[in-house]
Amino acid sequence: GIALNAQASSGTNGSSARTGGLVFDTDGYTEQTTTITDANGDDHEVVYRFWKAVTYVAAPVDEKYQSLNVSVPVKIDGKSVDASGAPILFANSVGGYMPSSVADATGVGAGGTTGMPGGGTGAPSPSASASGSGEVQSGGNGMVNALGKMVSLPKLALAAGYVVVEPGARGRTLKNSEGEYYGTAPAAIVDLKAAVRYVRANKGRIPGDTDRIVSSGTSAGGALSSLLGASGDSPLYEKYLRELGAADASDAIFATGAWCPITDLEHADGAYEWNWGASVVQGTGKVVDRTVSKELVSQFAEYQASLKLRGLGGFGALTARNYDTYLLQQYMEPSATTYLKALSDADRAAYLADHTFITWKNGKARFSWADFLTHVGARKKTTPAFDAFDLSTGENNLFGTGTTGTRHFTAYSLKHDTTGNTGTRLDGDIPAKLRLMNPMPFLTGDKPNAHRTKHWWIRLGTKDSDTSHTVSANLAAAAAALGDDVSHLYYWDEGHGANTDPGDFIQWIAKVTG
């Protein structure tokens, strides 16, 4: 076969389409030794084979991003391990819908999104602060644990004996010499699918069980991970995959891990106002436009009704009227309960004394939605949170095309545009691109996708106001309604990008793939 173990190039941008076999070079690794601290704080010496910057499509647009790294454990704590049938963690490091490259990574868990912590290089996302606090977004395959330390799922997975595949993917800011954007929607999901196809097409050459691919990602990466899970084998992506010369194989995956997925973007402005509408904006202290906020809330009510979802735990139909009760009962109170139970009696008493809105009775936390919102405090984003009237968000850029860097993707924000756009209709390609970027239509309606992932791990901090809490909860409810195995919980008092139970995720992989 033809070994495609390409060196990272710095952006060929479509000018030099390559052909060739997509055959994984089994000998193209270096052996590395590293010490990995597991979720319990114990150190493990791991010897592993590391394949770097393997181009995963035959006709790459930009190999720097369209390449993946593979890590395979051969010895853990001095004992030989055989990972040939192990689950494969497929860990993307996308943050902010930005480009993410693993081409310069020197080992497992070291790739990342440009400008993101835990990996990448370069300046922070140009629009990370456009609609928010200026806080750098997540990504870079690093998340923050309960002690405020960075957690690397790829490293934890390797130390658990799993194969780790880390794909790069194009992102929204990439522009070629003609000024054309080549990483906007749906580039990132197409790339991840192509990478899955590459892994599966190389079954037996890449060690690991290609029928047990478990995806992970955080925030925009969590959105893409859930989309990858929901959309397995969908023909909607076929023409894009063919253009890239993706391997001819299934792109379905076995399980999805998604932390704070920023998804369902075309409905996220309404959901955001429903959730955080009452609060002032972080940093500025400004009250948002009440009229706009209310109009968006009514859009959410309509959308939520159209989904026809039922809450977990026998809750019944989920509506804009009862969703606060649902979030409280199903997620927020249990989350606080778990948090408080883990504290010493003295620490719990101190926390409860500081947070008198919580009633602690019979080992359970109770509080009102209004008090919960007050506790979370200022919202991170202004209104609309995603499709800004002035086209200033990262999502506006995500839906850019050609030489147009930013576009509207909701009729409402187009109508209220402040940039001089007098159009009355969204651009013709927008509806199809929204469809390609949203997991929800694959999970709801008359024809849910049979090739979707059937195992879901969804996590989110209760203080994360990067999107509405309903986004994750709807994803969980939609998957559960199809009979899928869903583990969804919220981390109490944690913000954007948190991962306080990574060890449980590693164990969950063993459980669902076992």
For the purposes of burial, counting CB atoms within 10 Å of the CB of 226, is it exposed (0-12), middle (13-18) or buried (19 or more)? buried
Structure tokens at 447: 């024809």
Helices (H), 251-344: 265-276, 290-307, 323-326, 333-342
Q: Which residues pair with 487 in a beta bridge?
A: 457
Q: State which of residues 273, 466, 494, 501 lies at the interface with ligand DHB (CB under 6 A).
A: 466
Distance in angstroms (rounded) separating the CA atoms of residues 478 and 199: 28
Number of residues that bind ligand DHB (CB under 6 A): 12
Q: Which is nearer to ligand DHB, 60 or 142 (CB)?
A: 142
Q: State which of residues 11, 60, 87, 96 lies at the interface with ligand DHB (CB under 6 A).
A: 96
Tell whether residue 54 is a contact of ligand DHB (CB under 6 A): no
Q: State which of residues 93, 219, 472, 500 lies at the interface with ligand DHB (CB under 6 A).
A: 219
Q: State which of residues 127, 137, 210, 413 lies at the interface with ligand DHB (CB under 6 A).
A: 137
Q: Which residues contact 143 (CB under 8 A, 6 or more apart)?
A: 150, 151, 153, 218, 259, 497, 498, 499, 502
Q: Omega into 334 within 30° of 0, i.e. cis? A: no
As measured in angstroms, the least distance from the Cβ of 303 to ligand DHB is 18
Q: Which is nearer to ligand DHB, 73 or 257 (CB)?
A: 257
- Nearest to residue 488, comparing CAs of 458, 462, 468? 458
As measured in angstroms, the least distance from the Cβ of 269 to ligand DHB is 11
- Nearest to residue 407, comparing CAs of 382, 426, 433? 426
As measured in angstroms, the least distance from the Cβ of 339 to ligand DHB is 23
Does the CA dihedral 391-112-456-331 come out positive or negative? Answer: negative
Choices 79-87, 90-98, 165-173, 233-241; region in contact with ligand DHB by CB under 6 A: 90-98
Q: State which of residues 394, 400, 441, 461 lies at the interface with ligand DHB (CB under 6 A).
A: 394
Q: Which is nearer to ligand DHB, 395 or 484 (CB)?
A: 395
Q: Which is nearer to ligand DHB, 257 or 394 (CB)?
A: 394
As measured in angstroms, the least distance from the Cβ of 297 to ligand DHB is 19
Q: Which contacts (CB < 8 Å, 24+ apart) does range 274-279 have?
A: 274/300, 274/301, 274/320, 274/323, 274/468, 274/470, 275/465, 275/468, 275/469, 275/470, 276/373, 276/376, 276/379, 276/381, 276/465, 276/468, 277/383, 278/373, 279/373, 279/376, 279/377, 279/378, 279/379, 279/465
> Tokens 């794909």 identify what position?
167
As measured in angstroms, the least distance from the Cβ of 370 to ligand DHB is 24
Q: State which of residues 11, 87, 95, 311 lies at the interface with ligand DHB (CB under 6 A).
A: 95
Tell whether residue 387 is a contact of ligand DHB (CB under 6 A): no
As measured in angstroms, the least distance from the Cβ of 499 to ligand DHB is 13
Element (H, E) at 394: helix 394-398
SS3 assignment for 327-386: HHHHHHHHHHHHHHHHCCHHHHHHHHHHCCCCEEECCEEECCHHHHHHHHCCECCCCCCC
Are 488 and 66 in contact, with CB atoms under 8 Å apart? Answer: no
As measured in angstroms, the least distance from the Cβ of 321 to ligand DHB is 27
Q: State which of residues 93, 100, 138, 141 lies at the interface with ligand DHB (CB under 6 A).
A: 138
Task: Please give the C-alpha separations between residue 356 and each of 254, 308, 328, 379, in angstroms, as whole numbers.
Answer: 44, 36, 17, 22
Fill in the amino acid letter for 280.
V
Tell whether residue 139 is a contact of ligand DHB (CB under 6 A): yes
As measured in angstroms, the least distance from the Cβ of 481 to ligand DHB is 26
Site string for ligand DHB, 142-181 (x = CB under 6 A): ----------------------------------------
As measured in angstroms, the least distance from the Cβ of 300 to ligand DHB is 17
As measured in angstroms, the least distance from the Cβ of 385 to ligand DHB is 7
Site string for ligand DHB, 242-281 (x = CB under 6 A): --------------------x-------------------
As measured in angstroms, the least distance from the Cβ of 265 to ligand DHB is 8
- Max CA distance (Å), the chain: 67
Q: State which of residues 61, 108, 220, 478 lies at the interface with ligand DHB (CB under 6 A).
A: 220
Tell whether residue 464 is a contact of ligand DHB (CB under 6 A): no
Where does this chain bind ligand DHB (CB under 6 A)? 95-97, 137-139, 219-220, 262, 394-395, 466
